[in-house]
A = this chain, B = another copy of it.
Amino acid sequence: MTDGGRLPVGRILIGDCIEELRALPDRSVDLVFADPPYNLQLGGELLRPNNTRVDGVDDAWDRFGGFEAYDKFCRAWLAECRRVLKDTGTLWVIGSYHNIFRVGAIVQDLGFWILNDVVWRKANPMPNFRGKRFTNAHETLIWAARSEDSRRYTFNYDAMKALNDDQQMRSDWFLPLCTGAERLKAEDGSKAHPTQKPESLLARVLLAASRPGDVVLDPFFGTGTTGAVAKRLGRRWIGIERDSGYAAVARRRIAEVEAVDDPLALALANRREQPRVPFGRLIEEGLIRPGEVLFDSRRRWFAKVRADGHLISDDHKGSIHSVGAAVQGAPACNGWMFWHAERKGMPVAIDVFRQQLRAAGEAPAARVGA
């Protein structure tokens, strides 16, 4: 905070991030948040099942000559970020599996000390349309101190705990994408930037690892989410952005932001996630065996459990709900209450097993005594 006068605080530096970083003084910044190009390497076009086109990221700024060129670029900007970082400061970088492993290895090679990797679990990710992979439902953030010896980094442990119903904040964060009114639009209504991050994500980062008045640097400023959240939370900010069009959008955006009195209120957009237990989890946990036969409470209908969590009756196969409905000829059925397994000679509704799993997951200590 003391040397902020020499810094271009509250400004967007237009230019190459490595060159602009070189002009900043040593150990002058409290937090770096970086959302670098991911080097996605997308192939042709991807169509949704309804034949509309997925608007993938194929901008020139995301294309590199190969891993070698990408690594060289990252070594350069990460080394400069380390140089400008105070010893009490920390680095945050976000990425996906396309780039985060390379970034993480370089972060370690440069002498940073990783404190956590944090997973942003997306509440509403884009599905996998071709059924060839798992839904890519998360991105990874790396949180690192300047060096192994930088033990006095800023971490607002109690603020994070307060944000999480007085339990320690975990390394997996469940937050929605940036959509709707928050998503900046161009004049033609299209998205102003292809990879705008949600303010809730930046708010959690800044509340966790910075203090009011701290200088937050974002070397890939884009449309200025970092600056907007920093201003709102009473932090100072510096942005670096190559594209003057993005920078103009960011300037207008940040000008409209007002600082808040109650910083924690901003991050409370954190809805409590409903713990969902799919039927398949009961099989994975050994509470139900593959091949076991389930039945309704009056033993009128029977169905066999498959390893993948589907049921098979004489005429139907599918989920516990759909097979339950089908055997009864009913339009719908709550399979959790309908189907039973035999335990010690007694029928037990499978919902009982689900409750066991929920209890185990919410209160791990209880499991130890079990």
Is A100 close to B, CB under 8 A?
Answer: yes
Is A107 close to B, CB under 8 A?
Answer: yes
Is A333 close to B, CB under 8 A?
Answer: yes
Contact B168 A135 (CB under 8 A): yes
Is A69 close to B, CB under 8 A?
Answer: no
A124 to B, closest residue via Cβ = B364
A118 neighbours in B (Cβ, 8 Å)? 134
**Interface mask (A310-332 → B, CB under 8 Å = 1, otherwise 0):** 10101101110010000010111
Specify how many copies of this chain sit in the oligomer.
2
* Stretch with Cβ within 8 A of B (4 or more), from A9-17, A175-183, A218-226, A248-256: A175-183
Contact A123 B364 (CB under 8 A): yes
A18 neighbours in B (Cβ, 8 Å)? none
CB distance from A327 to the nearest CB of B (A): 12
A264 neighbours in B (Cβ, 8 Å)? 291, 304, 306, 312
A107-142 residues with Cβ-Cβ distance < 8 A to B are 107-109, 111, 114-119, 121, 123-125, 127-128, 131-138, 140, 142
Contact A134 B160 (CB under 8 A): yes
Given contacts A162-B309, A264-B312, contact A101 B107 (CB under 8 A): yes
A208 neighbours in B (Cβ, 8 Å)? 134
Residues of A participating in the B interface, judged by any CB pair closer than 8 Å: 47, 49-51, 59-60, 63-64, 67, 96-98, 100-105, 107-109, 111, 114-119, 121, 123-125, 127-128, 131-138, 140, 142-143, 148, 155-160, 162-166, 168-172, 174-177, 179-180, 199-200, 203-204, 207-208, 233, 260-262, 264-269, 276, 278-281, 283-286, 289-292, 304-310, 312, 314-315, 317-319, 322, 328, 330-333, 360-361, 364, 367-370
